[in-house]
Structure 1
């Protein structure tokens, strides 16, 4: 099913708000497709469409974001650049050395499934995210890495329209906050970094 037909189907019996959000996600994905960019990760779709009503990546991952995920997945699978079932020649070289045809086929299937799993993980977890695993002896130290309520409110304030209006700042698609002279006050990806901190700390 094409993304366009899926969009129509997903909007059936959906609320006005969900329909508007689906339209926004569809438009962002179309733009990615037109650019020839094979990046339909939730974080990217959020970054490119947050001004147009696209929800946060975490909201897309939640149960309520099922329709949004389906639409994004449809674009991702339609993209001719992406074919997770195929391995590059370099990745296949060692597999070709297997003499038993049955074993060779099984290894190719497993290698393809591993690549697909890695792709899914990269969409769930942001790139370069550090994950620390603690045993019960260090359980109390986990809180050191969590934002306190006061710290969370401070970061949320930086993302708020009231803060931006007060200082006459505008957010752009690069995650910057720029002033009335179009000079960056917050560097590229600063807003994205704040959103990730709020989602994962």
Structure 2
């Protein structure tokens, strides 16, 4: 494949995972301040399949689409007010989480156990970003910020980390077998 075709292929993968994130964002369980949504599942899947660079670029694209007002964030919301609001830190955290998750896998092995560890680390990255912004925007103390921004998400976060790992590794392997991920970071044996 020529260089231009390879660039197009990369851009399409990034766009597809931004779209998957937008779709899974609408699967949500409402909570008082921040809903539990499928966004973080999509972040983990993207990072596990695409790796650090392309996974984080998919999240940058997702955030940019939402920032201009398209209703791609949880609850069909969008616009810059979401990014500066109580839940905005989580969305910024998706970029860092995808990068960290993908990087851990690139430096170790693309296996389900390593992917679970990487996705759990990514989950904590998202929670750190989200909790800090939640604290600042709502002027909460640390105890209240942790109670609203971390504790409700831990159990389901571990479940989503496992699901993202399993789905991501299975899909990644199949895409590699089909020669659809030829430009991806090499598998570490």
TM-score bracket for this pair, using the shorter chain length: 0.3 to 0.5
Identify the structure with bigger relative contact order (alpha carbons < 8 Å, sequence gap 6+): 2
Instruction: Report the structure, 1 or 2, having the larger helix content.
Output: 2
TM-score, normalisation: structure 1 = 0.33
Greater Rg by CA: 1
